[in-house]
Structure 1
Amino acid sequence: MKIFYAVQATGNGHISRANQIVPILKKYGEVDLLLSGNNYSLKPEFEVKYRSKGISLYYNDCGSVNLGKTIFSKAIFGAIKDARSLTLKDYDIVINDFDFVTSVACSLQKVPSVHFGHQASFRSKNVPRPSKIDPVGELILQHYARAPHHVGLHFKSYDEGIFAPIVKENVSSSKPSTGDYYSIYLPSVDQFCMYQSLKKLNKIKFHWFTHDTKEARQDENIKIMPISDVGFTESLINCKGLITGGGFETPSEALFLGKKLLSVPIKKHYEQQCNSAALKQMGVKILLDPKFDAFDRHIINWIEEDAEVPPLEKADTQNMVEYIVKQRYK
């Protein structure tokens, strides 16, 4: 069987998921991968046959989507060009994890595909949304990676065809402990935005993972580290709690490990707003409009809040891949 698997490379969640999926897919046949986008820091653990710049989201310094740079980027013209040159008719199954290029190529060539991943879950109206619906954001979720079939992932099985999150093996098989520090993973926020606030909390220790540092260093109560899968995973397994964005994979791992969680969704990022609405329903603390110059007060309030960590199950990845492959979606 020939399998085509397209992976969105805005952020690290899609690549992290693919790292778990690809070895299982290879049991069923030959797998060719396309990596679409360039706004990521996690190294793929699989061979990439096709690459496209795709269409990536870009952010301002302090955690807000840069709409001008994203929408008016010339990348959309390159993505359509890549779609026209991508031949998919020879594949037995096309799996698309939220990639615009593959979606357009399938449409042009009339090749059926399955939209797989977290964004695919939003085809269901049962999946939580924020109180204020963003029509543009909703349009993107529904049509950015169009496909005739959908297999979604979310914090809960809100509808048929929506599975629990995929949790990495080194997380699911770990033995978590409670250290003396809190982990921070806010990759869209530059250091200067919240550095002073963290310094004010000089009696609280932090492991702070940022995209704008190359080497780990200790700065009094803050250990500042570059983003890496191994380093962050170890920190997460042994932390007291996690401060992160409104993504999907990282909050899922934190809840699976039973960690106290503070979600700070990226401004103007509709999918993260939706995720935070779901997390809020589960009892997780959400910070929708953070003032980073006063971030210390938000952290103190969160730490002092006595809230139970909602339980979260993980998907049976082997069974999920079998479910996708055996149906073939022809």
Structure 2
Amino acid sequence: MPSVIEPKLISGNANLPLAKAIARRMSLYRGMSVGLVDARVERFNDAEIFVEVFENVRGEDMFVIQPTSNPANDNLMELLVMADALRRSSAARITAVIPYFGYARQDRRTKARTPITAKLVANMIASSGIERVLTMDLHAAQIQGFFDIPVDNLYASPIFALDIQSQLKGQLDDVMVVSPDVGGVARARELAKRIGAPLAIVDKRREKPGEIAEMTVIGDVAGKQCFIVDDICDTAGTLCKAAEVLKDHGATEVHAYITHGVMSGPAVERITNSVMKSLVITDSIECSDAARAAPNIRVLPTAPMFAQAILNIWNGTSVSSLFETETLGPIYEGIL
């Protein structure tokens, strides 16, 4: 078998702009051109997915960039079919780069006779020939344990911390980090620790899914610039309601930092008309035109982090080093 010379990237249709951005960053880091492997990922008339790789990948270290965002089933199937094509083409190793892991919210049985779909998807990915997964901000930490292959879970909080420090330029005295629910406290605490800010919680109670009966603020947010931190913004109902409650409790400004901007249905309209001064999301999911045009929505790039993580995996060096500001800061210098 020939020795592996360079990591090779291939992308499905879920987020081509991110895949191209990762390739550009890798080119910058390596001082040589890194492009996407020439391939076609198409659909037949009956919507069956077909993949053809036009370059030799025998013995190569392949990285498949494909978030499983909306449409989740199509994008997941593209990932599996690409992995099968690469495995049958004798690729040495296949790593799935999944910036947004779909079905992550189905990580446990919430009531009788319901599935744990995140585990099912993990089984499908492992059985397709994928040997490693690189993702960002899994909805639940235990999903890493659903896989029987190595999983590297990156975190957006270091990027958020760098952006907040850049935006406020050291004026962090009145900042308060807010978790929009009890389940997200660990994520919010991590960001609060990085920027040296106190932590508050918005405790929500639901009568039934999709409806919020009551919200209570735990912590004194009066006179504070509040930064809500969460992993997913879907319809934005909870987020906008939490912003209103914080303003009612005396917050001077409300901002939100969300890793994955799913932005379903009326989300963009709600955010545009909300009391939030800004919503910051990453490009783990391709941003819609409406979201990009919204005056109070901003997108942070994840390509620098993913490019470095891919190179670290290829080199066999630490991925967790990217959790540290000292390591990540130079990578984002001049970007944020």
Greater Cα radius of gyration, structure 1 or 2: 2
Q: TM-score, normalised by structure 2?
A: 0.40
Q: TM-score, normalised by structure 1?
A: 0.40
Comparing both chains, which one has the higher relative contact order based on Cα–Cα distances under 8 Å and sequence gaps of 6 or more? 1
